[in-house]
Structure 1
Amino acid sequence: YIAKECKRYETETGIVNKSTYWVVFELVWRDFCKFFAIKQGNKIFFLDGTLGREAHGTHPNSRKWGLDKRQVTAWREGKTGYPLVDANMRELALTGYMSNRGRQNVASFLALDTNTDWRYGAEHFEEQLLDYDIYSNWVNWLGAAGMMGGRLNRFNIVKQSKDYDSEGEYVKHWCPELESLPTDLVHQPWKMTKEQQLQYDVRLGVDYPNPIIAPTAPNPYNRKNNKGKGQKGGRDNKRGGNNPNRGRGQRQDMKSLKP
């Protein structure tokens, strides 16, 4: 019905733009998730997803998953030391909602940067999201972790923060301890010198956590390592690929998502 009304609106007004396109696209994606889940059955809950054996060995998506409970707790509580991740996770905890852009970033961070069993993230979303849908949630987390094949999207958290919250307004709203930081530091506070920490009254490890993983930590999922047969390398995606519960709009600055 919604898709039909969008088409009617376009026909009657002659207005065809990205807004109407993405509404219909996301409805199609929602249906894809449902039919994909029905076809794959319980595989969507497996660690190796629908890749199965391909998730091991030399396949581009092969993984050795880990579980650091301290990292999982920090992620859940919005205390990772990465402002964009923390802001989104705090918003989720308080409101039961997170934007499409936020969902992509926090999922990429947990699964691909910390190398955590992606199902812990899917279960947390299941517990917290007011708009939770079993098909969209699990299929999109599966895709975010790279366990359903196709293109892998590993997000550059700092770049995403600068692109979608250039002034740091969204981050400062949900992480008020960073409110005094200038824009060149609010996206990566770990770059502050000791003098700057005193100047802005933000002490790393005291007022705001140190990053739970080093910003330059090596990761087997670097984009250059993800090109395989029938697969393009991961990229810092602006439109979104396989992403958790995708689609409440697309290009949207984070600051506009404050309550």
Structure 2
Amino acid sequence: MKHLVWFRNDLRTEDQYALWKATQQAEKVIGVYCFDPRHFALTPYGFPKTGAYRAQFLWESVRALKRNLEALNIPLWVFYGEPETTIPELVKTHGITTLFTTHEWTSEERKVTDALKVQMPRIAFHELQDGFLFHPEDIPYPAAKEIPEIFTEFRKKCEKLSKIRPLVEPKAMPKSNYEITPELPTLASCGITPQSADKRTAFPFKGGENKALARLEDYFYTTENLSQYKQTRNGLIGADYSSKFSPWLAHGCISPRKIYWEVQQYEAEICKNEDTYWLIFELIWRDYFRYISQKHGNKIFQLNGIVKQKYEWEFNARKFEKWTQGKTPEPFVNANMKELAATGFMSNRGRQNVASFWAKEWEQDWRAGAAWFESLLIDYDVHSNYGNWLYNSGVGNDPRDRKFNIRRQAEMYDPKNEYQDLWNT
């Protein structure tokens, strides 16, 4: 049996189901990743779907994956091209019989998967559920339509009735399995001009599985910052006010299960408190938005979202320019938007405020804001991005439909104006 692993948003070797399955009882295993040109094209708003900061982090993550697979004697072929065009050629030249990949269900990803299947009707195609904390087969909801619309209901029931699966490890292949493959396509070939993040960035890290594990080691065991996570997570300045795991989670450089089991070890050896639990709490939020996107499908991309409430939204290009450039009447919003543009990162507190301002204060089409985040954020994840924008815009899973008092938020979280001074001067 000759197996191919198609990597997408799962750029790791540890606890990666498709890779783990592929290395069981196979005479040959190879991997493939495609930098899809459609991901680097312009959006209807005129800016790139994938901006320079996220593209750089992605490239670093794929490079690290290639090296880590090499240690397992598994070659990784990396192309700049559409998967449904490039992968069939690889399958043909290597005599592949079976393809393993992580199941993706949102519309753009699904179209690519289906198009690839059409091109390879004789290839066994295995799509595995991965990237969750609570595996879909282990949650107390037999069908996606049963997922509750309130996060707290989902969390409490899963915490009570679901177990977290143990980690899985791929099997190393014999040296004869390895073959030399071409170097990665450059960012320039993807139409991306690399940019260096501003020195003020709160995310001075690189992409890749090794960097993710190093950050976990540092945040947990070197600094023991996990013991204060809930107290510091609403910070705005510096690398350590929060875990900063989100970019690596978004690209699949580390699994949520890996983080969960490390928290368990940390609690057993060092400290167990509300702060350590709160990191798990946030991982459950991440899971929840993944399940919400399964339940509602393309509704998460529609103006009125997943609820019946209707707002009178518009799209004003001039306001959009002011919002993206940090030239609104609100200094706190401006500081956050400038940080995003200069670094590809923004705190969770900042994201809530700028989204609320755009959708609730200026009453502008929230989907434009979501598209801007998709382009710039290093940690863009379709489920979390659109789930949070729906939530903050009043057409998602917020039962209270709250609107942020931006100035009050600034007083609470930036009382000395340190953050605003950092980015607005």
| TM-score for the superposition, normalised by structure 2 | 0.38
1:115-134 to 2 correspondences below 5 Å? 115-134=363-382
* Deviation (angstroms), 1:64: 1.1
Structure with higher strand content: 2
Quick one: distance in 1 between partners of 2:345 and 2:278? 19
State yes or no: 1:27 paired with 2:27: no
Q: What's 2:349 paired with?
A: 101
* Cα deviation 1:91-136 (Å, max 9, x = unaligned): 0000000001000000010011000010010000001001111110
Q: What's 1:10 paired with?
A: 267
1:1-259 to 2 correspondences below 5 Å? 1-13=258-270, 15-51=271-307, 54-55=308-309, 62-149=310-397, 150-176=399-425
Quick one: distance in 2 between partners of 1:148 and 1:102? 19
Quick one: distance in 2 between partners of 1:111 and 1:81? 15
Quick one: distance in 2 between partners of 1:18 and 1:160? 24
Matched residue of 2:306: which SS?
Answer: coil
* Cα deviation 1:185-231 (Å, max 9, x = unaligned): xxxxxxxxxxxxxxxxxxxxxxxxxxxxxxxxxxxxxxxxxxxxxxx
Number of aligned pairs?
167
Quick one: distance in 2 between partners of 1:82 and 1:18? 34
Q: What's 1:218 paired with?
A: none
Matched residue of 1:47: which SS?
Answer: coil
* Deviation (angstroms), 1:161: 0.5
Quick one: distance in 1 between partners of 2:279 and 2:291? 19
Quick one: distance in 1 between partners of 2:376 and 2:274? 30
* RMSD over equivalenced CA pairs, Å: 1.2
Quick one: distance in 2 between partners of 1:143 and 1:165? 23
Q: Which runs of 4+ in 1 moved over 4 A?
A: none
Quick one: distance in 2 between partners of 1:19 and 1:65? 38
* Deviation (angstroms), 1:40: 0.8
Quick one: distance in 1 between partners of 2:276 and 2:322? 37
Letter in 2 for 1:69: A
Quick one: distance in 2 between partners of 1:19 and 1:88? 25
Q: What's 1:179 paired with?
A: none
Quick one: distance in 2 between partners of 1:18 and 1:99? 21
Quick one: distance in 1 between partners of 2:383 and 2:416? 35
| TM-score for the superposition, normalised by structure 1 | 0.62
Higher relative contact order (CA 8 A, sep 6+): 1
Quick one: distance in 1 between partners of 2:364 and 2:415? 29
* Cα deviation 1:224-251 (Å, max 9, x = unaligned): xxxxxxxxxxxxxxxxxxxxxxxxxxxx
Quick one: distance in 1 between partners of 2:416 and 2:361? 25
Quick one: distance in 1 between partners of 2:332 and 2:277? 27
Matched residue of 2:342: which SS?
Answer: helix
Q: Give the 3 Å change call, closer, same or farther, for CA 74–18 of structure 1 in structure 2.
A: farther
* Deviation (angstroms), 1:141: 0.4
**Structure 1 unaligned residues grouped into runs of 5+:** 56-61, 177-259
Q: What's 2:92 paired with?
A: none
Letter in 2 for 1:121: G
Q: What's 1:220 paired with?
A: none
* Deviation (angstroms), 1:12: 2.9
Q: Higher Cα Rg: structure 1 or 2? A: 2
**Structure 2 unaligned residues grouped into runs of 5+:** 1-257
Quick one: distance in 1 between partners of 2:385 and 2:404? 18
Letter in 2 for 1:125: F
Percent identity over paired residues: 47
